[in-house]
Structure 1
């Protein structure tokens, strides 16, 4: 089983923007040194606490600072940009990174971002679907481009201005052929979008804030999508993110991971519960669809979604989690604010050097990726 890193970094109000960006970069550099397979970085335009506005720009600063870790947008919000821009910028980044790029995509879920861009009343899921069709078509086709897909609002062409001798009207292709890996973040139970991912050979990443029983609903849909095109689904293609804190001492783990008022895990889920309540999506935290909203409490969410403890305890909890979801290829460690930098770094170190070897031994993989 691979170990990945995912951050929609949520920093408390009052921290200097430059300081939080420096910390977020340091976390990815540490993940690279510890052998993490990839690092997904989220983006929002109008969120005080999640203050990376362009994941591709952020990741570009890490290309010379890292050696082996794959750098992934987590995600590029496709409703925010013309798809031709995404295609050309992503292709260039793939070359800059030496082929270490993963394109993580989503529609863009934050309503205030949509309002800022004047698309609050638009169907962002439809924008997403149309955009990804154009991106993949640009990477697949030769110039001059005449991409006019039925019902797609993004006609793309260079037919009028294409000049092969002058070298204009040509979109650069990614280094990885036929294209980089495309990963879609899945944030809803029973998501039908996962069916489409399977059909198109995109790979799902199940969000860290979903209960285990809702995460488990994603795999059957991915299998369905693969079968629809006559292919078999491989668990190696499924990533699952979890909110994990590992410490040498069990009491420290419980305090920093859940109980202490200054816990970054407590802060993160305080904000997540508030956001989902305002969006009418508290069902993500419910153990059943019939559970009333008032039954969703912060302490209950922390108990359900934060995996914390010593390396032995965390390994046991993760193996139990895997029994509920079934096999998957990558465990993605969710990165949060470094309230205590020493504890945050130590957690990542213990995850890579103590927890994962125990999981690999239990699964009989012997460290195989």
Structure 2
């Protein structure tokens, strides 16, 4: 099982933007030094807590400071950019990174982003589907292009302006051929989007704020999509994100990972709980449809969704998670604010150097 890293990231108010950006960079650089396989970075335009506005731009600052880790958008919000821009900029990034690039994609869920861009009333899921079709078509075709897909708002050609002598009218192709790995974040139980991922050979990443029983619903849908395409689903292509804190002793694990009022894990899930209530998506935290809302407390959510303990305990919890969800290829460690940088760094070190070796030894 591989180890990955994912950060939305979610910081408390009062910290300077430069400080949180520096910290977020340090986390990825540390992950690289510890042998993490990849690092997914999220983006939002209008969120003061999740304040990376462009994941590709942020990741570009890390190319020269990392050596082996794959740098992944987590995600590029496809309703917010023209697909020609995504295709061209992603292709250039792939070359700059020497092929260490993964394109993570989603429609873009934050409604205030959509309002700011004037697309609040648009069907952003449809825009997302149209955009990814155009991006892959650009990478698969040659100029002057004739991308005019039925029902797709995005039409792409350079036919009337292409000039071979001047070298204009050409859109760049990525270094990785036929294309970089494309990963879609899955945030809903029984997601039908996972079926489409399987059909297109995109790979799913199940969100860290989903209960294990809902994460388990993703794999059968992915298998269905792969079978529809005449292919076999490989568990190695499935990533499962979890919120994890590892400490050298149980008391620190319980305090920093859950109980202390200054715990970043407590802060993260208090924010997520507020967001899901406002969005009417509290059912994501429920074990059954008829569960009363008042049972979904912060402590309940922390108990269900935070894996914390000593390395031995965390390894056991990850193996138990795998029993619930089925086999998957990568555990993606969710990065949070570094309230205590020493403990945050130590958790990542223990995760890479003790937990994952124990997990893989048990699996072997």
Q: Normalising by structure 2, what TM-score?
A: 1.00
CA distance in 1, matches of 2:75, 2:335: 15
- Residue 293 of structure 1 corresponds to 293
For 1:123-202, list aligned pairs within 5 A: 123-202=123-202
1:41 lines up with 2:68 in the alignment: no
CA distance in 1, matches of 2:193, 2:148: 23
Count of aligned pairs between the two proteins: 364
1:328 lines up with 2:328 in the alignment: yes
State the 1:186 CA deviation: 0.2
Q: Normalising by structure 1, what TM-score?
A: 0.98
CA distance in 2, matches of 1:162, 1:274: 51
State the 1:348 CA deviation: 0.1
Q: Which runs of 5+ in 2 are unaligned?
A: none
Per-residue CA deviations over 1:318-338 (Å, capped at 9, x if unaligned) read 100000000000000000000
- Residue 122 of structure 2 corresponds to 122
Per-residue CA deviations over 1:169-212 (Å, capped at 9, x if unaligned) read 00010000000000000000000000000000000000000000
User: What is the RMSD of the two structures over their aligned residues, measured on CA atoms?
Assistant: 0.4
For 1:55-94, list aligned pairs within 5 A: 55-94=55-94
State the 1:274 CA deviation: 0.4
- Residue 221 of structure 1 corresponds to 221
CA distance in 1, matches of 2:117, 2:52: 17
Alignment partner of 2:353: what SS? helix
State the 1:291 CA deviation: 1.1
- Residue 309 of structure 1 corresponds to 309
CA distance in 2, matches of 1:155, 1:131: 10
CA distance in 2, matches of 1:159, 1:268: 50
Per-residue CA deviations over 1:117-172 (Å, capped at 9, x if unaligned) read 01111111000000000000000000001111000001111011011221100001
CA distance in 2, matches of 1:164, 1:91: 21
- Residue 351 of structure 1 corresponds to 351
Alignment partner of 2:173: what SS? coil
CA distance in 1, matches of 2:163, 2:142: 13
State the 1:292 CA deviation: 2.1
CA distance in 2, matches of 1:145, 1:120: 31
CA distance in 1, matches of 2:88, 2:292: 46
- Residue 367 of structure 1 corresponds to none
Alignment partner of 1:303: what SS? helix
- Residue 266 of structure 2 corresponds to 266
CA distance in 1, matches of 2:286, 2:205: 20
Alignment partner of 2:72: what SS? strand
CA distance in 1, matches of 2:68, 2:131: 30
CA distance in 1, matches of 2:328, 2:20: 32
More displaced, 284-293 or 241-250?
Answer: 284-293
CA distance in 2, matches of 1:306, 1:71: 25
Alignment partner of 2:79: what SS? coil
State the 1:57 CA deviation: 0.2
CA distance in 1, matches of 2:244, 2:212: 14
CA distance in 1, matches of 2:251, 2:13: 27
CA distance in 2, matches of 1:358, 1:142: 48
State the 1:295 CA deviation: 1.7
CA distance in 2, matches of 1:354, 1:238: 22
CA distance in 2, matches of 1:55, 1:5: 14
